[in-house]
Structure 1
Amino acid sequence: MTSQPPRKRIALVAHDARKADLIAWIGANIGALDGHAYWATGTTGQKVRDAHPGLEVTPLKSGPLGGDQQIGAMIAEGRIDLLVFFVDPMTAQPHDVDVKALTRLATLYNIPMACNEATADMIVSSPHFAGGYTPRAANFSGYETRKV
């Protein structure tokens, strides 16, 4: 009997100008992405659910209304394994501080993060994605025991 590959917990976010690109990327990679659990910020989540009804997507609040922070909290709690965040580098975002906080948390907690299609392709085509890879856990003991 073969064991099932581990189910990944994946956060999906896309700026408005990149939502169609994220939808197309999911469609092109549906075989690798099927069977995992997804959380997505507001409009992105609805668009993903409409385009790919077979994916289990839990929608959160819109990014500017706190969705980015909801995903950030899930990362800090160890409940997200991968962040796919298609960023629009050409448009100023009114909630840029939230975006920076989210990408900071993904970096801090050492979870894979794809901000564009090329990186997302590399991640889902990696044997680590299909296998049981666990990133090195973030270690904050030096920070937590520092003298203030």
Structure 2
Amino acid sequence: MNVAFVAHDRKKEELVNFVIAYEPLFKEHTLFATGTTGGLIMESTELDIMRFKSGPLGGDQQLGAMVARNEMDLLVFFRDPLASQPHEADIYALLRLCDVYGIPVATNMATAELLIHALRRGDFQWRDIVHQHRPVYMAERKPRAADYKIDDYDLTSRKATGL
């Protein structure tokens, strides 16, 4: 499964701690994140994460493009509901796309716990069926992180940056 992580500034530490707690589970999946959040997770874990640009610099929209192509399976987005964000329209667009394409989203710790336990049980295997029945004009198989060219998405990872 393709899993993405996003967190607003005051929620980044909470998300990093969440990922640390479930690191063994996340090792089984292909991980994506916005730039700063992904960097913090990689500093604190042994996980390899494909990073988009920082959210305000277009990372939310890059992630939204994957959602629109139905290439993302789960989004963990720890939002700060008490702070206004300069890129609020991008955030709304990302969450709207997740609703349009039926992508499970957790915006807080309680929901993230539920979704991660469902992921562990295999409750999202229906996503594999979605990928198997994509229209002919779409790829024959679900793309993996390794399929994305850094030039195409400005993705960086531990391998790409030499970390």
Aligned length: 128
- Tell me the secondary structure at the aligned position of residue 111 of structure 1: coil
Aligned match of 1:120 = 112
**Could you list the per-position Cα deviations for residues 24-80 of structure 1 after superposition, in whole angstroms to 9, with x for gaps in the alignment?**
01111223222211111110011111111x212011101011000000000011111
CA contact (8 A) 1:75 1:109 kept: yes
Structure 1 unaligned regions, length at least 5: 1-7, 138-148
Q: Does 1:62 align with 2:54?
A: yes
Aligned match of 2:15 = 22
Which of structures 1 and 2 has the bigger CA Rg?
1
Cα distance, 1:94 vs structure 2 = 0.4
CA contact (8 A) 1:69 1:102 kept: yes
Greater than 4 Å deviation, 4+ residue runs: none
Structure 2 unaligned regions, length at least 5: 131-163
Aligned match of 1:34 = 27
Percent identity over paired residues: 43
CA contact (8 A) 1:9 1:36 kept: yes
Aligned match of 1:141 = none
AA partner of residue 64 (structure 1): P
Q: Does 1:11 align with 2:4?
A: yes
Structure with higher helix content? 2
Q: Does 1:99 align with 2:103?
A: no
Q: 1:129 to 1:108 in 2, by over 3 A?
A: farther
Aligned match of 1:73 = 65
2: distance between equivalents of 1:45 and 1:59?
A: 6
**Could you list the per-position Cα deviations for residues 57-113 of structure 1 after superposition, in whole angstroms to 9, with x for gaps in the alignment?**
011101011000000000011111000000000111000000000000111100110
